[in-house]
Copies of this chain bind each other. A is one copy, B any other.
Amino acid sequence: MRKLLLFVFCLPIIAQAQVNQDSINIKKMVDEIMTNGKAYDLLRELTKNIGGRLAGSPQQQNAAIWGKRNMEAYHPDQVFMQPCKTPNWQRGGKDFAAITSVNGKAQNKPLAALALGNSLGSNGLIEAELLAVSNFDELEKRKEEVKGKIVYYNSQFNPTRIQTFMAYGETGIYRSSGASRAAKYGAVGVMIHSLSTAPDNEPHTGGMRYDESFPKIPAVALGPNDAKALWEAAKTSKIRVQMQTYGFFLPDADENNVVAELKGTEFPDEIITIGGHLDSWDVNEGAHDDGAGIVQTMELLRTMKALNYQPKHTIHFVLFANEENGGKGGAKYAELAKLNKEKHIFAIESDAGGFTPRSIGITCSPEQFKKFQTWSSFLKPYGTEVTAGGGGADIGPLKSVDKNIVLSGLVPDSQRYFDLHHATTDVFENVNKRELLLGAANMAAIIYLVDQYGVNP
């Protein structure tokens, strides 16, 4: 009885001691990352030595080899490739757009433009009258006017959305399906306002999809300044525009996910996945999108090995192929997990930029979320907390492997992401070393906690 009482009285002390020990262990990881982190140097290599790396490009293949070699150098239990077929879209030339007349008066005003990824070539220069609409509602109302026109969607972000991903969610539909929605009514081409927050004129590319039921018309994103001026002019004037694009597909390419593994000491059959995507668009270095996620993933492997951290669960550090225009890497990883009957308990993705982390987003059951929320106190010293909702395109397919998996995403500050996202300005110089490392540090904290205590209450 005395023993039991002693035990009961000691419980809070033991629990507090554990909390303190966890804080110490997490701080050790964070300090290692902030002091000796190699993520920034790796990012310089990936962006400057390899560069833009769209699925199918030699650069994407080089990036996979680079990732494998570098992760091997940290001596995990194994590193392996997961071959997968990916689309092989080619931009094919220098995209072109211009205003050729305003109210019948000839003009020759070039517009900053980039073809949307997956969109096809225009088969030469096309010229048509512009129909500028606010949104799909207006398109539907004016569908009789669409035939033979080039449709412009005024897909400007709502600047009052404090989380810019919300504005991106609202306007992304014009990029992804604007072309087919206009082609349905006979449009010959489509222009959109770049999905951008930047006060500049850089056009932003990004994935689109054709609805097979309608003609596959060309689609471009315009630089924000040009797009705003065009939208204003179109309110009062009849405008004719030209555009030319060159997009086409080569046969599917052979790419690879790269997976490094640390075998779990207690639960080797329960897998934690950490990842980002290796591919980028062709027009930039893919520094924030998603070089940052790649080097943060590699940094976490480096840190665990440097500190001789032996995880209880098996950890996969995954450099995914082909997130941008196909999602074939993420699909392959889930497909193989299913095939091999793997048990996946937790996956975290970093694919929202290498900016100062604001939270760790978690998608799970309410009971699990309560557990995760208690961990916010461990994150607070490093500037984040646990928030509801998180994941990413590459780890999403794991839900089909195990519906109880907890999906998570690093949530960096979003103010600058869409200044650069899919534009030529997404380069190494626009990534900050401390911000990048701090993202990895917060990922380390949540992964440590999941590894020590699992995901269930």
Tell me the complex Cα distance, A382–B199, Å: 21
A438 partner residues in chain B, CB cutoff 8 A: 162, 415
Which residue of the partner chain B has the closest CB to A27? B160
Say which residue of B30, B31, B164, B356 sits within 8 Å of A413 (CB atoms). B356
Asked if A40 is at the interface of the complex by the 8 Å CB criterion, the answer is yes
A432 partner residues in chain B, CB cutoff 8 A: 415-416, 419
Residue contact B415 to A162, C-beta cutoff 8 Å: no
Tell me the complex Cα distance, A434–B416, Å: 8
Tell me the complex Cα distance, A160–B381, Å: 11
Residue contact B413 to A413, C-beta cutoff 8 Å: yes
Tell me the complex Cα distance, A438–B356, Å: 16
Which residue of the partner chain B has the closest CB to A437? B159
Asked if A383 is at the interface of the complex by the 8 Å CB criterion, the answer is yes
Tell me the complex Cα distance, A285–B327, Å: 44
Asked if A155 is at the interface of the complex by the 8 Å CB criterion, the answer is no
A419 partner residues in chain B, CB cutoff 8 A: 432
Which residue of the partner chain B has the closest CB to A418? B434
Residue contact B160 to A434, C-beta cutoff 8 Å: no
Tell me the complex Cα distance, A31–B356, Å: 24
A381 partner residues in chain B, CB cutoff 8 A: 162
Which residue of the partner chain B has the closest CB to A199? B433
A413 partner residues in chain B, CB cutoff 8 A: 356, 413
Q: A231 → chain B, closest Cβ, in Å?
A: 16
Asked if A34 is at the interface of the complex by the 8 Å CB criterion, the answer is yes
Q: A265 → chain B, closest Cβ, in Å?
A: 28
Asked if A47 is at the interface of the complex by the 8 Å CB criterion, the answer is no
Tell me the complex Cα distance, A144–B260, Å: 55
Q: Could you tell me which residues of chain A, from 194 to 250, have a CB within 8 Å of some CB in chain B?
A: 197-199
Tell me the complex Cα distance, A315–B258, Å: 59
A415 partner residues in chain B, CB cutoff 8 A: 356, 432, 434-435, 438
Residue contact B356 to A434, C-beta cutoff 8 Å: no
A356 partner residues in chain B, CB cutoff 8 A: 356, 413, 415
Residue contact A199 to B40, C-beta cutoff 8 Å: yes
Asked if A35 is at the interface of the complex by the 8 Å CB criterion, the answer is yes
Residue contact A160 to B199, C-beta cutoff 8 Å: no
Residue contact A434 to B35, C-beta cutoff 8 Å: no
Q: A129 → chain B, closest Cβ, in Å?
A: 31
Q: Could you tell me which residues of chain A, from 290 to 323, have a CB within 8 Å of some CB in chain B?
A: none
Q: A50 → chain B, closest Cβ, in Å?
A: 20
A199 partner residues in chain B, CB cutoff 8 A: 40, 433
Q: Could you tell me which residues of chain A, from 126 to 168, have a CB within 8 Å of some CB in chain B?
A: 159-160, 162, 164
Give the top 9 A-B pairs by smallest Cβ distance, nearest first. Answer: A415-B434, A31-B160, A34-B159, A415-B435, A356-B413, A34-B160, A199-B433, A356-B415, A35-B159
22 of the cross-chain contacts (CB-CB < 8 Å) are: A30-B160, A34-B159, A34-B162, A35-B159, A35-B160, A40-B199, A162-B383, A197-B433, A197-B434, A198-B433, A199-B433, A356-B356, A356-B413, A358-B383, A413-B413, A415-B432, A415-B434, A415-B435, A416-B432, A416-B434, A416-B435, A419-B432
> Other CB < 8 Å A-B pairs besides A34-B159, A356-B415, A416-B435, 20 of them?
A31-B160, A34-B160, A34-B162, A35-B160, A40-B199, A159-B434, A162-B381, A162-B383, A197-B433, A197-B434, A198-B433, A199-B433, A356-B356, A356-B413, A358-B383, A413-B413, A415-B432, A415-B435, A416-B432, A416-B434
